[in-house]
Chain A
């Protein structure tokens, strides 16, 4: 799969915060009964992580599972592990009503890093970045496109915000973040 490329091939920008497309990220949309034992077991066996609670994201090195809606999770694994993970999920969920589809290439993922990363996001998304807790995933919009946000690892808002949007609008998303992080446009509200 050496010829697989992410939407912006790792574009970067340094302003008062750093904006970076992180490259290919394995992602699986997993729908099913989140309350079932089979689902918790499937997530555990495929990623080693526990099933996230409402609006939470479980993160570990190279893996994450995010709560997307009452019947949907986003499973994140290294790009090359997607097929393997799908097989594991299918095996664990066989016989139940579920859906597991590869959406790795349908998305673009950015990281906004720096003490004022929250201010960058707050220019574009109608969400309270000051109240975004560690381990919380917030789906909303980035200006005119849907996007999801969370803090990387156990970092607080003074660190790195991960932003996921659809692939076709990756350039728009990057340009937005870049414009918002431009030097001279600091707000100093959250940081």
Chain B
């Protein structure tokens, strides 16, 4: 059984006990434990079940590469699935549950898949769920949904907060092992601004577990001294619990800092996503151990040799009492030696190499450990945990020579440098035949904005595997990075490391070498996704020769660990099956993030009230206090209507229309875009921008204009006021201000840069209030001594007035057909004016109205709305706006496009009015259908409704529609298709439904 050792546990503070629960059972751990070590200390060997066959699964690793140890963590707003127990620091009160089983971890129905395994080979899903078609929906999908997925989806809103941070450094060092520490020191000594990050809570990495000396002192002493030295350097910052998640173009790196995962009651954000701009990045990301492929290598109790060692040395946990070590390299002997030194039994070390190991092997033998060279595991015995191993020759087909009782197997298939971050942005790899791994090719690095190399690897991540070369390489990396970022490195020598010399390893991709199918089908590569050696071989046999295809066919490396444990073994297996060399097969693509990061961290601060900017007008507070019912218009929130007590939105809008038409309405029109265009060439410029002539407009007057894109399509409309000879004020739609201002700047800067024109977006400088209705002039006159009579201040004119003490610019324009003034004042006085208008308008029953009333009134008057009648494919001619298109001008934006044959086609749908025969209101967007069917057998569509309202003024439904030959169909009754297949007849009519002669606005 696995248990806590009395001695050992260098990362623990055993004086601080912690309590946690796993599947509702209460367990004890201590400060410094990971959830993984604490579970093992409580003899919780089985931790979950695999994805496909639901086989019992225990821990394999001790770090980020762990494929099995995933749990549902926390509850309510703190719930999160798929938390890796090996990288989860234990805290008091932690609760977690195992995943992928039903009804329970010990008794799982899905495990029947295990017995069906032979019928569920690679590609099973693709092959099986194709036919019959109906079965997918009614049989396969429901069953798969029950058993599929890792963990559960959270149900509650995330209770935590997150944030981003932008950091700029000369040298970013990722990884706080001895290589990272030394690289940071070398770069820091050169004066570079250095950020050193480490994903765990500890500095020094594996070195302290593996031993050795640096400059004659134990490696731990070197680590402590280097940390002190770095701490003292003002140009170096060190942050732990921070992972280098991804390396991106031009030296951009994402750092993922986990601030409170280990102490969830602490205030502040849970995760902080660092967006780091680094001139140079050093990846000192270490190496990951690989497993070996032998039958039963997934039974709980089979772990990586390094993990068994970590649990013993770092956490004082013995995974088993009797551990069989199986290896193809010297490093695993360190595990045997540590276990022996901890008083545990190591019945045998199986070294697959015929010639065996070097100095470490001698040391093991000296401790009395039996070492067998050229031997392998034929199979592991046990179900929910290891009970023994059958031994065979590595060279043969697995004839069992001996059976040994044990409760733990420590395996080592060699080490792979962590090349992920090097590869994210295009760094290339070489296959190293001696070390049997891919290592970064320093001659083909990722390149940055200037074509420069911007990633340097250090230590194990470079493929340097012994302590001395690690330190030499890291020192060189630190100095090179400092130099590349403009700092002069010191001439100090790198520290000298000393560790046991190691004999060469041997590539072992299958154990035993000639393992028959029966063994291969129990030799696991990807534990989480249940991919076995036999699956890869089948994929190769079925023609999936590319490693990327084989990956997708078998799901190898597609689990949450992204193949950290399985990929190299998998592609070596594929290479063997294809009779190709490993480098020819290559690796799958390494993509960020290195390990999964939280969605919350990606979102950062953008949630709740600050999810996105909400634009507010100066009168927003009044609207909120007076029951304004808002609708989004771009990032603005405009009032749709102001419902009273029991009113529906529709009733409120209708009341607002009637009150405005009868007497007086007020609209907050501040959101309309306002752009000042000034200069000697301003008129010429506006003539190019608008379809009609603006240069002939007289100062003091206003003109409605249309703007098209160079494609000819209508993009915006609005009223232009000429302020003086040189100056125009262009009004845009609410959503259009920024877009139109940018449009102007684009043409001014990139096409007509010799024209003397300046544009300024002054939208937010002004609050604008529309005073609308038959009593509008009376209200205006109450606030000013100046003459605002029709003669003095005529329709389509503007005037600077003082209203009370407030200076205002007033435009006599109308979008409602009523007598109407739009009053612009400084934004800081907008609320004051609004309040004053409400008081002064009381005698006229002044009614604030919202966008729905605005829309109804404009539709009654036949005015188009950008975004309703236009959708980016509509030209002004479609809308019958030919009157606003100058025939005199030789050019304007969109003119050439409007001459194209399709644009001039008489069959383009044209805008008309529609009235239902029964007075009802048509649904928005409804299609108008003609006779016959189209090529697909669908009813022929001849038009669509673009705007539709119930007109409270007229008492019936009114609509606009784009209709084939529309203007020629006046009086005709057309059919509007409803979604329930019933057609509603509607009569084609003029666009102007109300006050056709404009008598109301011209008083």
A and B touch in the complex (CB under 8 A): yes
Interface members, chain A 49-72 (any B CB < 8 Å): 71
Convert A172-191 into 0s and 1s, putting 1 for each residue whose CB lies closer than 8 angstroms to a CB of B.
11011001101111110100
Interface members, chain A 85-140 (any B CB < 8 Å): 97-99, 101-107, 119, 122-128, 130-131
Q: Does A124 contact B613, Cβ atoms closer than 8 Å?
A: no
Q: Chain B at the A interface: mostly helix, strand, loop or mixed?
A: mixed
Is B790 part of the contact surface with A, judged by Cβ < 8 Å? no
Chain B contacts to A: CB under 8 angstroms: 161, 163-168, 237, 266-269, 272, 275, 277, 605-606, 609-610, 612-618, 635-636, 676, 678-680, 756, 758, 760, 762-766, 805-806, 826-829, 831-832
Enumerate chain B residues within 8 angstroms of A144, measured Cβ to Cβ. Answer: 606, 612-613
Convert A28-39 into 0s and 1s, putting 1 for each residue whose CB lies closer than 8 angstroms to a CB of B.
010110000000
Output the least CB separation between A177 and chain B (Å): 10
Q: Does B614 contact A103, Cβ atoms closer than 8 Å?
A: no
Q: Does A122 contact B613, Cβ atoms closer than 8 Å?
A: no
Q: Does B826 contact A168, Cβ atoms closer than 8 Å?
A: no
Q: Does A4 contact B829, Cβ atoms closer than 8 Å?
A: yes
Q: Does B616 contact A168, Cβ atoms closer than 8 Å?
A: yes
Q: Does B828 contact A169, Cβ atoms closer than 8 Å?
A: no
For the complex, what is the distance from the CA of A84 to the CA of B435, rounded to whole Å?
79
8 pairs, A vs B, C-beta closer than 8 Å:
A7-B616, A97-B756, A101-B676, A106-B765, A144-B606, A144-B613, A168-B615, A184-B266
For the complex, what is the distance from the CA of A6 to the CA of B832, rounded to whole Å?
12
Output the least CB separation between A165 and chain B (Å): 9
Q: Does A145 contact B613, Cβ atoms closer than 8 Å?
A: yes
Output the least CB separation between A139 and chain B (Å): 15
Is A44 part of the contact surface with B, judged by Cβ < 8 Å? no
Enumerate chain B residues within 8 angstroms of A97, measured Cβ to Cβ. Answer: 679-680, 756, 758
Enumerate chain B residues within 8 angstroms of A166, measured Cβ to Cβ. Answer: 764
For the complex, what is the distance from the CA of A97 to the CA of B161, rounded to whole Å?
51
Counting from the closest, the 10 A-B pairs by CB-CB distance are A184-B267, A168-B615, A105-B827, A128-B168, A184-B268, A3-B832, A106-B764, A4-B828, A106-B765, A99-B758
Enumerate chain B residues within 8 angstroms of A125, measured Cβ to Cβ. Answer: 166
Scoring B161, B617, B765 by chain A CB atoms within 10 A of each residue's CB, the highest score goes to: B765
Q: Does B610 contact A175, Cβ atoms closer than 8 Å?
A: yes
For the complex, what is the distance from the CA of A176 to the CA of B604, rounded to whole Å?
11
Q: Given A123-B164, A130-B168, A143-B610, verify A3-B829 contact (CB < 8 Å).
A: yes
Q: Given A3-B832, A169-B613, A175-B609, verify A106-B165 contact (CB < 8 Å).
A: no
Q: Does A24 contact B614, Cβ atoms closer than 8 Å?
A: no
For the complex, what is the distance from the CA of A3 to the CA of B825, rounded to whole Å?
12
Q: Given A29-B760, A104-B826, verify A172-B614 contact (CB < 8 Å).
A: yes
Q: Does A185 contact B616, Cβ atoms closer than 8 Å?
A: no
For the complex, what is the distance from the CA of A166 to the CA of B678, rounded to whole Å?
22
Partner of B163, one of A5, A29, A98, A123: A123
Q: Does A185 contact B268, Cβ atoms closer than 8 Å?
A: yes
Output the least CB separation between A39 and chain B (Å): 13
For the complex, what is the distance from the CA of A102 to the CA of B676, rounded to whole Å?
11
Output the least CB separation between A141 and chain B (Å): 11
Q: Does A105 contact B605, Cβ atoms closer than 8 Å?
A: no
Output the least CB separation between A119 and chain B (Å): 8
Q: Does B165 contact A1, Cβ atoms closer than 8 Å?
A: no
Output the least CB separation between A98 and chain B (Å): 7
For the complex, what is the distance from the CA of A1 to the CA of B272, rounded to whole Å?
45
Q: Does A101 contact B268, Cβ atoms closer than 8 Å?
A: no
Q: Does A101 contact B167, Cβ atoms closer than 8 Å?
A: no
Q: Given A105-B765, A185-B163, verify A176-B615 contact (CB < 8 Å).
A: no
Nearest chain A residue, comparing its CB with the CB of B195: A189
Q: Does A4 contact B826, Cβ atoms closer than 8 Å?
A: yes
Q: Does A187 contact B272, Cβ atoms closer than 8 Å?
A: yes
Interface members, chain A 142-183 (any B CB < 8 Å): 143-145, 166-173, 175-176, 179-180, 182-183
Enumerate chain B residues within 8 angstroms of A185, measured Cβ to Cβ. Answer: 161, 163, 267-269
Q: Given A105-B826, A106-B764, A166-B764, verify A99-B679 contact (CB < 8 Å).
A: yes
Output the least CB separation between A148 and chain B (Å): 15
Q: Given A4-B826, A168-B616, verify A99-B610 contact (CB < 8 Å).
A: no
Scoring B168, B268, B610, B806 by chain A CB atoms within 10 A of each residue's CB, the highest score goes to: B610
What 16 new A-B contacts, CB under 8 Å, besides A101-B765, A168-B636, A182-B268? A6-B828, A7-B827, A31-B758, A97-B679, A106-B763, A106-B827, A122-B165, A122-B166, A126-B275, A144-B612, A168-B617, A172-B613, A173-B613, A184-B268, A185-B163, A189-B237
For the complex, what is the distance from the CA of A107 to the CA of B761, rounded to whole Å?
12
Output the least CB separation between B620 and chain A (Å): 9
Output the least CB separation between B260 and chain A (Å): 10
Enumerate chain B residues within 8 angstroms of A189, measured Cβ to Cβ. Answer: 165, 167, 237
Enumerate chain B residues within 8 angstroms of A71, measured Cβ to Cβ. Answer: 758
Output the least CB separation between B758 and chain A (Å): 4
Enumerate chain A residues within 8 angstroms of B166, measured Cβ to Cβ. Answer: 122-123, 125-128
Output the least CB separation between B295 and chain A (Å): 51
For the complex, what is the distance from the CA of A167 to the CA of B164, rounded to whole Å?
24
Q: Given A31-B760, A99-B760, A123-B165, verify A105-B828 contact (CB < 8 Å).
A: yes
Scoring B605, B612, B614 by chain A CB atoms within 10 A of each residue's CB, the highest score goes to: B605
Enumerate chain A residues within 8 angstroms of B267, measured Cβ to Cβ. Answer: 183-185
Enumerate chain B residues within 8 angstroms of A107, measured Cβ to Cβ. Answer: 764
For the complex, what is the distance from the CA of A99 to the CA of B760, rounded to whole Å?
9
For the complex, what is the distance from the CA of A143 to the CA of B545, rounded to whole Å?
46
For the complex, what is the distance from the CA of A175 to the CA of B679, rounded to whole Å?
39
Enumerate chain B residues within 8 angstroms of A123, measured Cβ to Cβ. Answer: 163-166, 605
Q: Does B272 contact A99, Cβ atoms closer than 8 Å?
A: no
Q: Given A3-B832, A4-B828, A123-B163, verify A176-B610 contact (CB < 8 Å).
A: yes
Enumerate chain B residues within 8 angstroms of A145, measured Cβ to Cβ. Answer: 613
Output the least CB separation between B116 and chain A (Å): 52
Enumerate chain A residues within 8 angstroms of B758, measured Cβ to Cβ. Answer: 31-32, 71, 97-99
For the complex, what is the distance from the CA of A31 to the CA of B758, rounded to whole Å?
7
For the complex, what is the distance from the CA of A62 to the CA of B259, rounded to whole Å?
42
For the complex, what is the distance from the CA of A98 to the CA of B164, rounded to whole Å?
41
For the complex, what is the distance from the CA of A171 to the CA of B679, rounded to whole Å?
35
Nearest chain A residue, comparing its CB with the CB of B164: A123
Nearest chain B residue, comparing its CB with the CB of A166: B764
For the complex, what is the distance from the CA of A169 to the CA of B763, rounded to whole Å?
13
For the complex, what is the distance from the CA of A131 to the CA of B756, rounded to whole Å?
37
Nearest chain A residue, comparing its CB with the CB of B277: A128
Q: Does B268 contact A131, Cβ atoms closer than 8 Å?
A: no
Q: Given A1-B829, A4-B829, A189-B237, verify A171-B606 contact (CB < 8 Å).
A: no
Nearest chain B residue, comparing its CB with the CB of A179: B605
For the complex, what is the distance from the CA of A50 to the CA of B267, rounded to whole Å?
48
Partner of A180, one of B237, B605, B765: B605
For the complex, what is the distance from the CA of A186 to the CA of B161, rounded to whole Å?
14
Enumerate chain A residues within 8 angstroms of B606, measured Cβ to Cβ. Answer: 143-144
Q: Does A99 contact B636, Cβ atoms closer than 8 Å?
A: no
For the complex, what is the distance from the CA of A123 to the CA of B269, rounded to whole Å?
12
For the complex, what is the distance from the CA of A98 to the CA of B766, rounded to whole Å?
21
Enumerate chain B residues within 8 angstroms of A172, measured Cβ to Cβ. Answer: 610, 613-614
Output the least CB separation between A170 and chain B (Å): 7
Output the least CB separation between A112 and chain B (Å): 15
